[in-house]
Amino acid sequence: MEGSWKPIDLVLEFLFVAVQVVLFIEGVYPADLFERNRKFGIAVSVCRHPDVCSYVRDHLTEARKWFEEGKVEKFVIPILERSRGSVMRNYVFLLRGIRSPTRKLNETQVKDLEVHLRGALARLMNLRRSTPPLDTVTWDMVMFTSGVPLGQSWAAAAGTETREIDPARKSLQAIKDVDTGSIVALEVYLEESKTPEDVNVVL
């Protein structure tokens, strides 16, 4: 990567790529809408559809200042069953901290952060699932924030719109712990909603 990167740039670029990788592995859109591209030093599947790309990019750009101010607790990509609107899975990016998000990083620091973020993308790519029938799943983006004024792209979520999974039906799978000590601490994990058959029923 060229130029003078700041931690915030790398985190937002990582999330931008991560959303596209999630859409690919979940088969939200047909596979031919994706192409392999090198990001953070590895080949990942990114979306070729300009509307999807700009939708994600615009939302993240608008949220940039809240990330910089440390007001974003979690960024979540829910995968929903289209017919019922129920959450099947949440890809969670838990921000534990970005230190001095707008300072310029030197080359060594950028490389170090890239290695960690690449590891997270590689883990996501490896989660590749069986492709669902077309148009049966959909997706969303949700941010859990503290004290931010909402803008044009982000609206306040109420009730089920927060896409929370009932804790009694939730299983967690760690994907990657990104901890570069002095730069970024970010936890990536998957929350899955267990089907009723998986839940132990206590009579």
Binding residues (CB under 6 A) for ligand NAG: these are 106-109
The distance of closest approach from Cβ of residue 32 to ligand NAG in the complex, given in angstroms and rounded to an integer, is 42
Write out the H or E segment, with its range, that includes residue 153. Answer: none
Comparing every residue's Cβ against ligand NAG, the nearest one is 106
CA-nearest of 179, 188, 57, 76 to 121 is: 188
Q: Which is nearer to ligand NAG, 54 or 106 (CB)?
A: 106
Residue 73 DSSP class: E
Q: Which is nearer to ligand NAG, 35 or 107 (CB)?
A: 107
Q: Side-chain half-sphere of 84: how many Cα atoms within 13 Å? A: 4
Least separation in angstroms between residue 4's CB and ligand NAG is 12
Q: Contact at 8 Å (CB) between 22 and 124? A: yes
Nearer to ligand NAG, 109 or 180 (CB): 109
CB of 104 to ligand NAG, least distance (A): 10
Task: Give me the least distance between CB of 12 and ligand NAG, in Å please.
Answer: 21
What's the sign of the alpha-carbon dihedral 60, 57, 164, 177? Answer: negative
Q: Regarding beta strands 42-47 and 137-139, do their DSSP bridges make them parallel or antiparallel, or are they unpaired?
A: unpaired
Minimum distance, C-beta of residue 100 to ligand NAG, in the bound complex (Å): 11
**Residues with Cβ within 8 Å of residue 153, at least 6 apart in sequence:** 58, 59, 62
- CB 96, CB 183: distance < 8 Å: no
Nearer to ligand NAG, 107 or 161 (CB): 107
Question: Dihedrals φ, ψ of 2, to 5°?
Answer: -100, 165
Nearer to ligand NAG, 85 or 97 (CB): 97
